Structure 1
Amino acid sequence: MFFLLNIVGILVVFGLVFLCSPNKKRIKWRSILSLIVVELLITWFMLGTQIGIWVINKIASFFTFLISCANQGISFAFPSVMANPTVDFFFSALMPIIFIITFFDILSYFGILTWIIDKVGWVISKVSGLPKLESFFSLQMMFLGNTEALAVIRQQLSVLKENRLLTFGIMSMSSISGSIIGAYLSMVPGEYVFAAIPLNCLNALLFASVLNPIEVTKEEDVVYVPSKKERKDFFSTISNSMLVGIKMVIVILAMVVGYVALTACLNGILGFFIHGLTVQKIFSIIFSPFAFLLGLSGHDALYVARLMGIKLATNEFVAMMDLKNQIHSLPPHTVAVATTFLTSFANFSTVGMIYGAISSIIGDEKSRIIGKNVWKLLVSGIAVSLLSAMFVGLFVW
């Protein structure tokens, strides 16, 4: 019975996102079916074979190495802060952006990154039937946070039309950052974290093509390569990259502080009228039907719905800490779907981070397309987390 609920849940999520699509006739169903088949194979590979876990670990270790390099620079400037057992969000998640942007801009300067985008994007686009850059971005999001991933391809974004730019905003809701994988693994089972990472990225590509279906011509489906006139010398390039990085850090920090503060303010107002009422509790009630559709029994469904509310209103760390304390008393299926759902940045503050990142990269005028379509970002982020959890749930009982 619960297995059937899990399957029904997949159909319900697809159906609801389809109803939200503004242009249903343009949806490429062949591409969507291809992605679903690939995702089911990936889920089996990740959860059923040791090779799958080994591959993801190797990729993750590379990005962890980049973060450790960034931490060396941060430690030089802020030795007392980085020596603490717990490091603030500003230093652990935002400051590494400066080095990550610089590193990938060096790869772009020598043509390495543009070559990778072109070739890897081509492979994924053959499977998905979607454009190269979008396909590459889905892969890039596996271990780079949404802001870092957007910054890495900012030269590509600067020449895109608004309708394609919205696709990247929608997809960015479902990323994570390589810098926080270690924190995840200290709280929840690693096999479900590593299964969620590729599923989230492919599901983000899938739902972006449903919520924002666009036609890209062969002429437009190319990787932008700056001309010689546009390129600066090497040291000017990396210096500019660092300045772009610190600008992004400041903008993102402002967005995070503002959105978290607004949530706290709203909770205070709600509590004034109804004691104990919070945004988190409202979301847990709204999403309780989806928790049942994850193939969960009554008590477990209500608990996972509460975790969903916590994640959406605050962030996944708070919810994972709660899950960590209860994990030994929960059945494997509940742990699997809850962990998978929590493994992404999809929440309200992330919308602010994405808007701030795109605004700092290409200016306010083009970034307005994100502000006008916030609901699409939220629908995609929630739907991706649910679908990934449902796929994993099919294989763990």
Structure 2
Amino acid sequence: MEFWINLLRGSIGIFILLAVAFLVSNNKRKINWRLVVTAIGMQIIFAIFIIHSEYLRSIFFVLGWPKDVINSLGSGIVALLGFTQKGAEFVFGRLAYNTGPDSLGFFFAFQVLPTIIFVSALTSILYYLGILQLVVKGMAWIMSKLLGTSGAESLSNTANIFVGQTEAPLLIRPYIEKMTNSELLTIMIGGMATIAGGVMASYIQMLGQSFADANNIPLQQAQIKFAIQLLAASVMAAPASLAIAKIIYPELEEPVTKGTVKLRVDKD
């Protein structure tokens, strides 16, 4: 019974959000409903693989691999948080220790902020080495082919899963001047729909600490739980933001990067 209640609640939420976007659309007749349905379908399918992975695995073991990938990424993020904690303890000493609810200010200043700095630096290194671009380009290619969106907006929205909304447009900087209004809105909505890697890590650290204290469970277990949930939500938000953007401002022109996925690697 609880499953059906949750399903109904989620369905109503999706319907209301789509209805609001439709009401404020600047050209309702030009909405590409195939794109919208495909984007929402991608979000729902990904959610099913994450939430019901064990049931799907019992049917066919290969169906469990998406959740395994997310679990591995979540564990990797928590391991990085451990490195950050050790670094903060080395630099700040006892100030980096969390002594309870009364030490929230110290916790934010000497644990959360170093986490944001560390993850931002790590992201910059991965970008410089070209590793981040490969991951982003692969995911953007999938979204571009399935949804029919332009290469530039697909790249930017996919990059928002890993970096912030100020860094993601830098990947498509040469194309911004010639982008359509629909593409520009898509980039802005995609940036607001996801969170940067550094901010995600800080949320994992803060929420994990509070959840572990409240439920008397190991900190690492709590952090992995939130890492999986936040990472999955960020991935699901990418196609969903495209759907909302294309309802509010349908594509009326021919994008310069239509059908192509190219990104610029600027190491200066």
TM-score, normalised via structure 1 length: 0.47
Residue 170 of structure 1: how far off its partner (Å): 1.9
Q: How many residues align?
A: 224
Cα distance in 2 between the residues matched to 1:14 and 1:154: 26
Q: State the structure with bigger RCO (CA 8 A, min sep 6), 1 or 2.
A: 2
User: Contact 1:32–1:206 at 8 Å: present in 2 too?
Assistant: yes
Cα distance in 2 between the residues matched to 1:90 and 1:21: 42
- Corresponding position: 1:181 with 2:204: yes
Residue 49 of structure 1: how far off its partner (Å): 1.4
User: Contact 1:174–1:200 at 8 Å: present in 2 too?
Assistant: yes
Closer, same or farther: CA 108–180 of 1 in aligned 2, 3 Å: same
Q: For residue 122 of structure 1, what is the aligned residue in structure 2?
A: 141
User: Contact 1:157–1:165 at 8 Å: present in 2 too?
Assistant: no
Residue 139 of structure 1: how far off its partner (Å): 4.5
Residue 157 of structure 1: how far off its partner (Å): 5.4
- Give the alignment's Cα RMSD to 1 decimal: 3.6
Q: For residue 255 of structure 2, what is the aligned residue in structure 1?
A: 216
Q: Percent identity?
A: 25
1:1-397 residue pairs with structure 2 within 5 A? 7-50=11-54, 51=64, 52-85=66-99, 86=104, 87-142=106-161, 144=162, 148-150=163-165, 152-153=167-168, 155-156=170-171, 158-159=173-174, 160-161=176-177, 163=181, 164-176=183-195, 177-181=200-204, 183-184=206-207, 186=211, 190=225, 193=229, 196-214=233-251, 215-218=254-257, 222-226=262-266, 231-232=267-268
User: Contact 1:105–1:152 at 8 Å: present in 2 too?
Assistant: no
Q: Which runs of 5+ in 2 are unaligned?
A: 55-63, 216-221
Q: Deviations over 1:302-361 (max 9, x none)?
A: xxxxxxxxxxxxxxxxxxxxxxxxxxxxxxxxxxxxxxxxxxxxxxxxxxxxxxxxxxxx
Closer, same or farther: CA 224–23 of 1 in aligned 2, 3 Å: farther
Q: Which runs of 5+ in 1 are unaligned?
A: 233-397
Q: Deviations over 1:201-250 (max 9, x none)?
A: 33223213333444522378531233xxxx44xxxxxxxxxxxxxxxxxx
TM-score, normalised via structure 2 length: 0.65
Cα distance in 1 between the residues matched to 2:71 and 2:233: 13
User: Contact 2:190–2:242 at 8 Å: present in 1 too?
Assistant: yes
